[in-house]
Amino acid sequence: MKDKIRMQFLGATGYVTGSRILVETDHTRLYVDAGLYQGPSYVEERNFIPLETDPSRIHAIFLTHAHIDHTGLLPLLVKKGFRGEIFATPGTRDLLQILLPDAGRIQEEEYKFYSKKKIRDYELTGPLFTEEDALNTLSLIQAVPFNTPFPYRDFTATYYWAGHILGAAQLRLEALNRSIHFSGDLGPREPILHRPRENPLPADYVVVESTYGNRMHEEEDYTKKLEMAVQTILRRKSMLIIPSFAVGRTQLILYVLFKMMKDKIIPEVPVFIDSPMATRATQTYLAYPSEMLASIIKEGFFDYLQSRRIQMIEDVVDSKRLNYFSGPGIIVSASGMANGGRILHHLYNRLWDRRNVLLFIGYQAEGTLGRLILEGASRVKIFNREVPVRLEVDKINSFSAHADQEGLLEFIRLFQENEPKTLFINHGEDEARETLASKVLFFKNTRIEIPRFESTYYL
């Protein structure tokens, strides 16, 4: 393999989680991302596949962004002996201080719930990793600024904005006179909150995500839906409950609400953020105004976040006190699929009251409480008690942190003038990857590859 780069796909091959790619020369072994598989158990079982290599042999890991499906394997690698450097943008590094320890706690809790059989089948002797493993990982992370070529051994790495979440980057790696461009997760074509993605430089090899490779985002008037929900709770003096992911989605819904109040589409309504993680994530966002759309800062969104018009609840006592708040008001709380976190308490206390409104603003996966309610369950079980679902339920479908099919094609088309040798379509289900591949008709010479698990390429 002299004078070649070896690239091996170690995750997200046919899945939208578990992202990890090995890139190596004769002198250096890197991972691009080290993500956990997330979702239904047949997907999460993949986290127990033995590692293909001793992690102490990996020199460094370059992260594209903080989402656990790109970073959640780090504590396991550290536990198994990885001692190299982890590089990330400053925003990603800061978000990981919140997300990784939480991932460790979740692993510890899950281990307690595994059946004896599962523990035997996987030959588990403990959780995949612990909060302590996650904390040990944080000290290895070094921040690398955007748009600044960064030499590392025989590689040069550069981060570019991806428009996906705070800190999210596309990554360009150069070595042996070759260039590889990794899209990371790409943001939507018209972001509402985040600074849009940058156009990539020409590259010899391109690795693109394909989460929405076979789908277009729904066009809908989300302002109208929110306006109706807010009018309803004003009329009934009740509560609007919004389950939301702590990072990205919460800040987006806060901005949309702020803008609607500012434009007098809705009147001023008390807003409560009841999720310690969402509060910390929001504080992290406040440190990076340059990663937002410039217009958002000008409109005063960050001043709003720091004002008393919005209440960030940390204390459990204050969270419980919110149960006695009769409304009108808006509670934004995690988790976004209502499968854990403080949102459960709010649903437990408010689902039965037909005056309230529940608004989902993100994808509800199979098997989650959110999905059950969205599909019209009349009673659900929370904290082992049956609760009748009587409140109004609605959903906004158009918020997305991802580029849709057209957005992905627009991105790939940017390489048309200087065609890459190979385009690798990864990080998507097979149908999405194949559909996207079938739409890339504008390249004349580029090979299109849909890598399988452990597929290896010599560049």
Cβ 429 to Zn ion shortest distance, Å: 15
Name which position in 67, 194, 259, 346 contacts Zn ion (CB under 5 A).
Answer: 67
Q: How many degrees, rounded to 5, is the angle at CA 245 between CA 268 and CA 314?
A: 65
The residue (of 168 and 239) whose beta carbon lies closer to Zn ion is 168
Restricting to residues 255-284, name those near Zn ion by CB under 5 A: none
CB 102, min distance to Zn ion, A: 16
Give CA–CA dist 144/306, Å, rounded.
28
Closest separation in Å from C-beta 67 to Zn ion: 4
Q: How far is the CB of 187 from Zn ion (least distance, A)?
A: 9
Number of residues that bind Zn ion (CB under 5 A): 2
CB of 276 to Zn ion, least distance (A): 21
Cα–chain center distance at 178? 30
Q: Is 86 left (phi over 0), alpha (psi -120 to 50) or beta?
A: beta
Instruction: Choose one: 66-74, 93-101, 186-194, 224-232; the region binding Zn ion (CB under 5 A).
Output: 66-74
Q: Choose between 64 and 238: whose C-beta lies nearer to Zn ion.
A: 64
Nearest distance in Å: CB 277, Zn ion = 16
Only segment of 61-69, 88-96, 235-243, 252-260 that touches Zn ion (CB under 5 A): 61-69
Query: Considering Cα of 350, then 356, then 361, then 364, what sign does the dihedral take?
Result: positive
Nearer to Zn ion, 131 or 185 (CB): 185
Binding part of the chain for Zn ion, among 59-67, 196-204, 414-422, 427-435 by CB under 5 A, reads 59-67
Nearer to Zn ion, 157 or 247 (CB): 247
Pattern 169-208, binding to Zn ion, x per CB under 5 A?
Answer: ----------------x-----------------------
Buried b (16+ CB within 10 A) or exposed e, 105-118: ebbbeebeeeeeee
Minimum CB–partner distance for residue 66 and Zn ion (Å): 8
Nearest to Zn ion of 246, 347 (CB atom): 246
CB of 305 to Zn ion, least distance (A): 22
The CB-of-188 to Zn ion minimum distance in angstroms stands at: 12
On the question of a cis peptide bond just before residue 328, with omega within 30 degrees of 0, the verdict is: yes
Closer Cβ to Zn ion, 24 or 185, answer by number: 185
Virtual torsion, Cα 301, 305, 309, 314, nearest 10 deg = 160
Q: Are 207 and 449 within 8 A, CB to CB?
A: no
Q: How far is the CB of 70 from Zn ion (least distance, A)?
A: 6
Instruction: Tell whether residue 209 is a contact of Zn ion (CB under 5 A).
Output: no
Residue number, 292 or 330, with CB nearest to Zn ion: 292
If the CB atoms of residues 90 and 329 are measured against Zn ion, the closer one turns out to be 90
- Residue placing its CB nearer to Zn ion in the complex, 184 or 327: 184
Choice between 185 and 291, CB closer to Zn ion: 185
Stretches 64-72, 117-125, 188-196, 272-280: which one binds Zn ion (CB under 5 A)?
64-72
Q: Which residues contact residue 115 at a Cβ distance below 8 angstroms, ignoring those fewer than 6 apart?
A: none
Pick 186 or 310: Cβ nearer Zn ion: 186
Smallest separation, CB 373 to Zn ion (Å) = 25
Q: Which of residues 295-354 bind Zn ion (CB under 5 A)?
A: none
d(CA 358, CA 352): 11
Question: Does residue 328 contact residue 231 with C-beta atoms inside 8 Å?
Answer: no
Smaller CB distance to Zn ion: residue 98 or 312? 98
Give whole-number Cα distances, 330 to 83, 298, 325, in Å: 45, 25, 10
Tell me the closest approach of the beta carbon of residue 196 to Zn ion, in angstroms. 16
Q: Which spans of this chain sit near Zn ion (rule: CB under 5 A)? A: 67, 185
